Amino acid sequence: MALLELNHVTKNYNSQFCALDNVSFSVDEGEFVSIIGPSGAGKSTLLRCINRMVEIDKGQISIDGVITSSLSKKMLRKLRTKIGMIFQHYNLVDRLTVIENVLHGRLGYKSTLAGIFGKYSQTEKAQAFRIIKILGLEEQVYKRCDQLSGGQKQRVGIARALVQNPKIILCDEPIASLDPNSAKIIMDHLRTICKEMGITVIVNLHQVEAALKYSDRIIGINRGKVVFDGFPENLTPLQIREIYGSESDDLMPDLGERHAG
């Protein structure tokens, strides 16, 4: 069943520059989809439109059957609890500990006052500890986030998204700042979360190889238009060229090595 649907979505910045041009696709529950494309193609704009951090100009986006543009502030806040976000630069509060950052994922469920005073139930704390353990961060629980490596910070970001109990996780270049080993750990966790917890994952990636290895489906964007939407095994060098244009030669992966399983 489709969890996310985009129908003819267009986004113009400053009423003239077209960042998304008539984009339509749907994503099923439990699917792992990578969005690839060159710098400036519109990948971040796409994720921001999905959670309504950016308003679209034309078309329609629905999540779990709800048309996002028609939601009141209150209903939008409720919908956003179902959408976990993971960022390239982690967006953690550096001076706070791992557990405090992870519990921030619960803020969308709380009144402003309860949030300010950091009032979390025993159930919420137990859930946060459980997720921290799954992500292999139990030794870091009480460490300040500015003492962590990039890979550990990104795992905190994933844990914070998971305590929301999301239906979908949107990841904006989650491995762009990481070394290959940390990047693999993050992509492995995202794949496990998708396949074992049934959470839909949409990942913006610059690395074609990672997209080929981890995705059920790849969507290629160039200048705001979807130019490829299909299975990794159907992404040919010609299509990679169409997606990336002149950047493609540096990015051309060894197409022999494919899926993570």
> Is there binding between residue 19 and ligand ATP (CB under 6 A)?
yes
In the bound complex, what is the minimum distance in angstroms from residue 48's beta carbon to ligand ATP? 7
Q: How far is 23 from 46, CA to CA, in rounded Å? A: 9
Q: How far is 182 from 185, CA to CA, in rounded Å? A: 5
CA angle 116, 143, 154 (to 5 degrees): 85
- Which residue number, 198 or 245, has a Cβ lying nearer to ligand ATP? 245
Q: How many CB atoms lie within 10 A of CB 186?
A: 23
- Which residue number, 41 or 210, has a Cβ lying nearer to ligand ATP? 41
Q: What phi and psi values does residue 191 have, to the nearest 5 degrees?
A: -65, -45
Q: Is the alpha carbon torsion for 51, 231, 167, 1 positive or negative?
A: positive
Q: How far is 31 from 135, CA to CA, in rounded Å? A: 21
- Which residue number, 19 or 50, has a Cβ lying nearer to ligand ATP? 19
Give the residue, chosen from 15, 39, 122, 123, that forms a contact with ligand ATP under the rule CB under 6 A.
39
In the bound complex, what is the minimum distance in angstroms from residue 252's beta carbon to ligand ATP? 18
> Of the ranges 33-41, 63-71, 74-82, 232-240, which one interacts with ligand ATP (CB under 6 A)?
33-41
> Is there binding between residue 37 and ligand ATP (CB under 6 A)?
yes
Where along the sequence are the contacts to ligand ATP (CB under 6 A)? Answer: 13-14, 17, 19, 37, 39-45
